[in-house]
Amino acid sequence: METQPSHISGSPCPEEKYPKPSVTVDVVLFTFTEGTLRVLLIRRKGEPFKGRWALPGGFVQKDERLEDAAARELFEEAGLKGIYLEQLYTFGDPGRDPRGWTISVAYFAIVSEDLTGEVRAGDDAGDAAWFDVYQLPPLAFDHERIVRYALQRLRYKLEYTGLGFLLLPEAFTLSQLQNVYEVVLQEKLDKRNFRKKILGMDIIEETGKLRHGDHRPAKLYRFKAAAIELEKARRRFP
């Protein structure tokens, strides 16, 4: 005797037995400019949270890879493309989205200051702008939590990798480098100990040039090519 499929015989179909959430992506994009660590935000054009600032992001399309969705949303909402995105964390607390059960896969990236001028609001956004990460406006959804999580990731990577090459100009003084660390870490660092530590990491080298100003000339440094390539390999830059 031929048996009937379970969903015909009264058992719940797979969609009923295993309800599926919506999946979104959000992008935390940092830069360091004018002595401040900044994050890119988008002003929402529609509900929910119409008019409020949020991270670039949106729903993942059918058969779309997560990283492709993140890159697409970043381009559609801010006009940026070709930026490597590193997966950060997955956020899925109940009630985080008033539209329903939604899981968001967050991505994290850093761009150098020379790319900040390329940001422009796309058709899906009312506006796009850089904000001081320590003075954020009220954010939509749980995006403030996502930014805080990304900031912790940045602090960890800055202390143990050569990631700083994305936050500084090609040539910089040790004072400039220390300033970046102090802003990101939110703590005052002892000058002597900082220089001993950073030089001991073997990730920077002298350029042979000096920066002249109001005080005595300061040596200019750059990140070593090997340190940059290692960081790129870690991050799987395209």
Q: Do 173 and 198 reside in the same domain of the chain?
A: yes
Q: Do 200 and 89 reside in the same domain of the chain?
A: no
Q: Do 178 and 121 reside in the same domain of the chain?
A: no
Q: Tell whether 172 is covered by a domain.
A: yes
Q: Tell whether 5 is covered by a domain.
A: no
Q: Do 28 and 95 reside in the same domain of the chain?
A: yes
- In this structure, are strands 22-33 and 102-110 parallel, antiparallel, or unpaired? parallel
* Predicted pLDDT at 237: 43
Structural domains in the chain (count): 2
Q: Do 132 and 175 reside in the same domain of the chain?
A: no
Give the mean pLDDT per block of 10 residues along the chain (238 residues): 49 69 96 94 92 95 96 90 91 93 95 77 77 97 97 90 85 94 95 94 93 84 87 60
- In this structure, are strands 36-44 and 53-54 parallel, antiparallel, or unpaired? antiparallel
Q: Do 166 and 227 reside in the same domain of the chain?
A: yes
First to last CA, the chain: 57
Q: Could you identify the residue written with the tokens 């360091």?
A: 32
Q: Tell whether 183 is covered by a domain.
A: yes
Q: Do 120 and 41 reside in the same domain of the chain?
A: yes
User: pTM for the complete prediction?
Assistant: 0.85
Q: Do 86 and 200 reside in the same domain of the chain?
A: no
Q: Do 29 and 111 reside in the same domain of the chain?
A: yes
CATH number of the domain within which 187 lies: 1.10.10.10
Q: Taking Cα atoms as reference points, which of 131, 128, 182 lies closest to residue 155?
A: 182
Q: Which residues contact 31 (CB under 8 A, 6 or more apart)?
A: 37, 38, 40, 110, 111, 112, 113, 115, 116, 130, 167
The boundaries of the domain holding residue 128 are 21-158
Q: Tell whether 88 is covered by a domain.
A: yes
Q: Tell whether 12 is covered by a domain.
A: no
Which pLDDT tens digit goes with each residue over 86-99? 999 999 999 999 99
Q: Do 58 and 153 reside in the same domain of the chain?
A: yes
CATH number of the domain within which 150 lies: 3.90.79.10
Q: Do 43 and 85 reside in the same domain of the chain?
A: yes
Q: Do 133 and 216 reside in the same domain of the chain?
A: no
Last residue of a domain, one of 137, 158, 179: 158
- Residues 166, 73: Cα–Cα separation, whole Å: 22
Last residue of a domain, one of 104, 124, 158: 158
* Predicted pLDDT at 55: 97
